[in-house]
């Protein structure tokens, strides 16, 4: 059983070697997270004082429910760096969103756009953990009763309440409220959308913002996730993937032929056909981990090389064709990608393939585990209740990298099974409500820069979606590079890719202009933030 296998693997090893990125099961997609940026080895002094280590964890007493303060508070973790700070400078705050935030302390430094803003504007940086992720939990479990306090709106209000009331652990940290110095909100992917949602819902708290790959439009059937992959992956690889998927679909009603083919791919034990073909999305999901600096050894490119390089010969643009692609993909998937290996991150290891890839066991651990620091479960709650983003087949008649056996109905079933106390039947996420609340593509936000990469699989939910002309956003506030998912958050990517550097430079220029417009509020006209005037 998978649970037996998991018990033999240390948690850190499991996260790195089996299902990275918070995923609960190998048929669950990767979370829309910004990439981790490593901390530098050392940091310099601040004037005559020494900065505390950047992994120093601070605690803020956050309200459980902002509409009902009587419920009390929980401990929300955050981290801080003021090496560039000069009195009057801005506070740059970032949350990774749906993840344990401890690995994201690199975002305190100028290795990221956050630190570049701080260095340019003489500001301080903060990384704050989102409620119900990592160790910032109002309650000691992730049951439905607890998760009812996990909503986008409460995430918005957490950021606002922190900015308005926190006394920061830096010199002068009791005198940097949002009406005293400008606050800049930064996010990537979901947290990029949260940046925009916060500035829509609570205007004038955060003076400026930067949204990288911000998925501002919620979509139930997000088949477009695979479109940037299909369009920008090697075309020979794309052609052969489409041929193999079309072949699977063509024999779906022939049980004997279908079973023989899934066995060839190492999935004889996978009971349900949609789980078997759905598992092949993993080779495509690896695209999300690419960056401008990714080289030939990246997992996605290893996959395409396995299909399109044969005895030193590279396939033409149309690929080698179905026969070769079936043999090459099945061999790579069954013998290299699925099993435990020291040379590649394993998908299933030695686990039974149906335990690893199947989604039809209501009692499986990934449905029933309610322990905290389980980012996949917390994110799935948001998916099922507010944003959707089910990554399945393209519509009939449109080129597809994903089998037509994989449809949103399967994802909705998984919502019901993971949260039976919330859903008596498979729910359709109410994305119209979310888009109406925060504006989606039509939102209008002053002083917010949107950055996206052309090759980002999440692009069609951002302000740079194909065929979308945002009505309320100045086109000069939207930057599109040749990058991938959240590529522009990393300083290093700007060094490698000039288009990423152009987006970063443009954003830094805009933010500088906007911060010059900020005027501290006088005591007589101070906004009613619920805290005393400090002088």
Chain segment 390-429, per-residue pLDDT in tens: 999 999 999 999 999 999 999 999 999 999 999 999 999 9
Q: What are 255's two structure tokens?
A: 């049980």
Sign of the C-alpha dihedral computed for residues 82, 84, 87 and 93 taken in this order: negative
* Cβ(352)–Cβ(269) below 8 Å: yes
Q: With a cut of 90, say whether residue 20 has pLDDT above it.
A: no
For residue 23, the model assigns a pLDDT of: 72
Where would I find the beta strands (DSSP E) of 299-384?
Answer: 309-310, 313-314
Tokens 């010199």 found at: 171
Estimate to the nearest angstrom the gap between the alpha carbon of 293 and the chain centroid.
Answer: 19
Classified as helix, coil or strand, 323 is helix
Crossing angle of the two packed helices 152-165 and 431-438, in degrees rounded to 10: 30
Residue, of 348 and 132, whose pLDDT is higher: 132
What average pLDDT does the structure give for the chain? 91
Q: How confident is the model at residue 535 (pLDDT cuts 50, 70, 90)?
A: very low
Distances (CA, A) of 2 to 32, 355, 366, 435, 457: 25, 5, 10, 38, 30
The CA-to-CA distance between both ends of the chain, in Å, stands at: 63
Q: Quick one: 352 exposed, middle or buried, by C-beta within 10 A (0-12, 13-18, 19+)? A: middle
Give the HSE-up count for residue 501: Cα atoms under 13 Å, Cβ half-sphere. Answer: 6
pLDDT in tens, 57-87: 999 999 999 999 999 999 999 999 999 999 9
CA distance 186 to 194: 9
pLDDT score of 49 = 57
The pair phi, psi for residue 471, each rounded to 5°, is -80, -30
Give the model confidence (pLDDT) of 365-388 as tens digits.
999 999 999 999 999 999 999 999
Q: How many CB atoms lie within 10 A of CB 278?
A: 28
3-state secondary structure of 503: helix
Q: How far apart are CA 366 and CA 314, in angstroms?
A: 40
pLDDT band, residue 295 (cuts 50/70/90): confident
Q: What is the pLDDT of residue 444?
A: 95
Q: Reduced to 3 states, what is the DSSP secondary structure of residue 337?
A: helix
Q: How many degrees, rounded to 5, is the angle at CA 354 between CA 147 and CA 414?
A: 30
What number is the average pLDDT over the span 464-491?
A: 96
Q: Which tens digit of pLDDT belongs to each residue from 108-154?
A: 999 999 999 999 999 999 999 999 999 999 999 999 999 999 999 99
Q: What H or E segment, with its residue span, contains residue 60?
A: strand 58-63
Tokens representing 406 are: 């994989």
What is the pLDDT averaged over residues 95-116? 97
User: Six-digit token pair at 275?
Assistant: 């789980």
> Is the pTM of the predicted complex or chain greater than 0.75?
yes
CA separation, residue 224 to residues 13, 20, 179, 358, 478 (Å):
33, 23, 41, 24, 20
**What's residue 465's pLDDT?**
97
pLDDT above 60: residue 18: no
- Contact criterion met (CB below 8 Å) for 81 and 54: yes
The rounded radius of gyration (Å) of the Cα atoms in the chain is: 24
d(CA 78, CA 59): 6
- Distance CA(207)–CA(447), nearest Å, equals 7
């Amino acid at each position: 059983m998978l649970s037996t296998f998991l018990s033999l693997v240390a948690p850190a090893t499991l996260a790195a070697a089996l299902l990275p990125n918070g995923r609960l099961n190998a048929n669950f997609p990767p979370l829309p997270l910004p990439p981790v940026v490593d901390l530098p080895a050392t940091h310099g002094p601040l004037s005559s004082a020494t900065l505390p280590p950047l992994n120093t964890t601070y605690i803020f007493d956050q309200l459980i429910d902002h509409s009902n303060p009587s419920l009390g508070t929980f401990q929300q973790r955050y981290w801080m760096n003021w090496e560039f700070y000069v009195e009057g400078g801005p506070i740059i705050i970032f949350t990774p969103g749906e993840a344990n935030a401890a690995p994201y302390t690199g975002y305190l430094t100028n290795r990221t756009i956050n630190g570049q803003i701080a260095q340019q504007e003489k500001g301080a940086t903060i990384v704050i953990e989102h409620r119900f992720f990592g160790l910032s939990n109002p309650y000691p479990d992730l049951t439905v009763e607890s998760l009812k306090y996990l909503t986008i709106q409460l995430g918005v209000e957490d950021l606002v309440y922190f900015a308005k009331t926190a006394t920061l652990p830096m010199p002068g940290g009791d005198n940097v409220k949002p009406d005293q110095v400008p606050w800049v909100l930064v996010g990537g992917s979901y947290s990029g959308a949260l940046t925009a949602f916060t500035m829509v819902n609570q205007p004038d708290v955060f003076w400026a913002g930067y949204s990288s790959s911000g998925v501002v439009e919620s979509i139930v059937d997000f088949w477009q996730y695979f479109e940037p992959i299909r369009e920008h992956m090697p075309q020979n690889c794309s052609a052969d993937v489409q041929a193999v998927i079309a072949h699977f679909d063509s024999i779906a009603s022939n049980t004997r032929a279908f079973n023989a083919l899934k066995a060839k791919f190492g999935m004889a034990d996978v009971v349900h056909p949609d789980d078997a073909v759905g598992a092949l999305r993993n080779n495509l999901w690896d695209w999300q981990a690419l960056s401008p600096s990714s080289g030939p050894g990246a997992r996605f490119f290893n996959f395409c090389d396995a299909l399109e390089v044969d005895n030193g010969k590279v396939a033409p643009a149309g690929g080698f064709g179905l026969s070769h692609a079936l043999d090459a993909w099945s061999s790579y998937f069954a013998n290299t990608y699925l099993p435990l290996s020291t040379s590649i991150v394993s998908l299933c290891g030695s686990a039974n393939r149906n335990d690893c890839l199947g989604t039809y066991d209501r009692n499986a651990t990934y449905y029933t585990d309610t322990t905290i620091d389980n980012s996949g479960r917390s994110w799935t709650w948001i998916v099922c209740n507010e944003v959707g983003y089910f990554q399945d087949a393209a519509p009939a008649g449109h080129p597809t990298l994903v089998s037509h056996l994989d449809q949103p109905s399967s994802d909705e079933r998984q919502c019901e099974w993971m949260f039976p106390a919330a859903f008596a039947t498979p729910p359709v996420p109410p994305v119209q409500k979310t888009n109406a609340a925060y504006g989606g593509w039509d939102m209008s936000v002053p002083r917010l820069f949107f950055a996206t990469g052309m090759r980002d699989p999440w692009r069609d939910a951002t302000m740079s979606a194909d065929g979308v002309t945002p009505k309320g956003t100045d086109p000069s506030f939207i930057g599109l590079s040749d990058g991938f998912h959240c590529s522009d958050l990393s300083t290093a990517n700007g060094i490698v890719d000039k288009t990423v550097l152009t987006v970063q430079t443009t954003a830094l220029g805009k933010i500088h202009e906007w911060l010059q417009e900020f005027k501290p509020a006088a005591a007589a006209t101070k906004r009613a933030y619920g805290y005393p005037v400090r002088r």
